[in-house]
């Protein structure tokens, strides 16, 4: 069966500088095995499959697959899926708010000029990391334990542990070894810089050695940084520098405390696939 397909570059307005996402727009009738096989074949960090919603409050449903497993939530697939859904004729119930159904439930997405932004979902796990794991994380990152300023669980689906280093330069200098951990690392830029933080994300446990730009981790990172008073919104995070990308993640917090994570998206491939 022929199905609409988009390949979207997320967290960039310039093609081929962000994080690519494969989107099968009309995925009804596909089995779990077919979805996983196609996601493995695309060999991208994530591939999504769009379906009619099961919850009557949602506009569409997204299933999110890495090359090796399904995720309950991920950030750049949320923005890229919404971009593709709108581009292929999707009409939300509310003109400026789109509701995506996925494994963690309902995720609100709002339009912000030329960008989309999703509401950061609640953390599934937070709190301190035990010291043996902290020491292992330092070894994986190739740094001394005392170079870690702070760290904690920041899991909103993929299993993230957030690690804060002293500076953006320290983050850029990392040369980690692969490990069965989902680690997100951030370090601040000097005051007055365009971006507040440099971010990197390593998820070898789900088949992603280093993710170019990571919405889910930036969401949980923002929740942690805001809760600890380390940052004020709005702020901009930069990610993908080491990989030759220039991802820009816009973070804001609403009056009700909701953290919004946004960025531009651009379609690079339009076509059909046979599935």
d(CA 90, CA 79): 14
| Residue 46: active-site member | yes
Same-domain check for residues 88 and 137: no
**233 shares its domain with 180:** yes
Helix runs in the chain, H state only: 32-42, 75-87, 131-141, 168-172, 215-227
Q: Same domain for 204 and 177?
A: yes
Least confident range of 47-61, 130-144, 152-166, 204-218:
204-218
Q: What is the pLDDT of residue 246?
A: 96
At residue 172, the pLDDT reads: 98
Q: 93 and 140 in one domain?
A: no
pLDDT band at 271 (very low <50, low <70, confident <90, very high): very high
Q: Tell me, yes or no, whether 111 and 129 share the same domain.
A: no
pLDDT range class, residue 95, cuts 50, 70, 90: confident
| Residue 202 domain-assigned (yes or no) | yes
70-71 and 208-211 beta bridge pairing:
unpaired
CATH of the domain at 65: 3.10.310.10
Q: pTM for the full model?
A: 0.94
- Judge whether 94 lies within some domain: yes
The reply to whether 149 and 185 lie within a common domain is yes
Domain extent for 241 = 125-251
> Are the beta carbons of 186 and 199 closer than 8 angstroms?
yes
Angle made by CA atoms 26, 261, 181, in degrees to the nearest 5: 85
Q: 256 in a domain, yes or no?
A: no
| pLDDT number for residue 100 | 98
- Overall domain count for the chain: 2
Cα(121)–Cα(258) distance, integer angstroms: 9
pLDDT confidence tier of residue 231, bands split at 50, 70 and 90:
very high
pLDDT of residue 112: 87
- Is residue 153 located within the same domain as residue 76? no
Task: Indicate if 107 and 163 belong to the same structural domain.
Answer: no
Measured CA to CA in angstroms, residue 70 lies from 22, 79, 87, 128, 205 at distances of 14, 17, 24, 26, 13
pLDDT in tens, 96-137: 899 999 999 999 999 988 899 999 999 999 999 999 999 999
Yes or no: say if 138 and 151 are a contact pair by the CB < 8 Å rule: no
pLDDT in tens, 129-176: 999 999 999 999 999 999 999 999 999 988 999 999 999 999 999 999
* pLDDT higher than threshold 80 for residue 207: no
Spot the catalytic one: 46, 101, 198, 210. 46
pLDDT category, 214, cuts 50, 70, 90? very high
141 shares its domain with 116: no
pLDDT number for residue 205: 72
> Are 37 and 148 members of one domain?
no
Asked if residue 257 belongs to a domain, the reply is no
Cα–Cα distances (Å) from 200 to 41, 89, 113, 117, in that order, read 25, 34, 27, 20
Give dist(CA 185, CA 77) in Å, integer.
Answer: 20
Domain assignment present for residue 75? The answer is yes
Q: Are 47 and 21 within 8 A, CB to CB?
A: yes
What tokens were used for 93?
Answer: 């119930």
Residue 102 domain-assigned (yes or no): yes
- One domain, residues 29 and 104: yes
pLDDT, position 158 = 87
In degrees and rounded to multiples of 5, residue 178 shows phi and psi of -70, 140
**Are 242 and 270 in the same domain?**
no
């Amino acid at each position: 069966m022929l199905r609409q397909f988009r390949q979207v570059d997320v967290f960039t307005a310039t093609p081929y500088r962000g994080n690519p996402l494969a989107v099968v727009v009309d995925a009804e009738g596909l089995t779990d095995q077919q979805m996983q096989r196609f996601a493995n074949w695309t060999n991208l960090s994530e591939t999504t499959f769009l379906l009619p919603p099961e919850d009557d409050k949602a506009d569409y449903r997204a299933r999110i697959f890495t090359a090796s497993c399904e995720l309950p939530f991920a950030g750049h697939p949320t923005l890229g899926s919404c971009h593709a859904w709108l581009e292929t004729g999707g009409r939300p119930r509310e003109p400026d708010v789109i509701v995506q159904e996925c494994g963690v439930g309902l995720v609100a997405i709002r339009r912000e000029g030329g960008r989309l932004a999703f509401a950061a979902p609640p953390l599934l796990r937070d709190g301190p990391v035990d010291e043996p794991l902290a020491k292992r994380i330092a070894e994986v990152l190739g740094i001394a334990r005392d170079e870690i300023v702070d760290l904690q669980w920041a899991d909103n689906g993929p299993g993230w542990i957030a690690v804060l280093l002293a500076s953006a330069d320290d983050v850029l200098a990392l040369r980690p070894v692969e490990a069965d951990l989902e680690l997100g690392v951030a370090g601040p830029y000097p005051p007055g810089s365009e971006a507040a933080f440099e971010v990197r994300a390593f998820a070898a446990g789900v088949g992603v050695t280093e993710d170019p730009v990571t919405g889910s981790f930036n969401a949980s990172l923002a929740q942690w940084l805001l809760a600890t008073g380390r940052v004020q919104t709005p702020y901009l995070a930069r990610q993908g520098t080491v990989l030759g990308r220039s991802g820009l993640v816009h973070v804001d917090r609403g009056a009700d405390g909701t953290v919004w994570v946004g960025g531009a998206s651009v379609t690079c491939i339009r076509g059909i696939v046979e599935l």
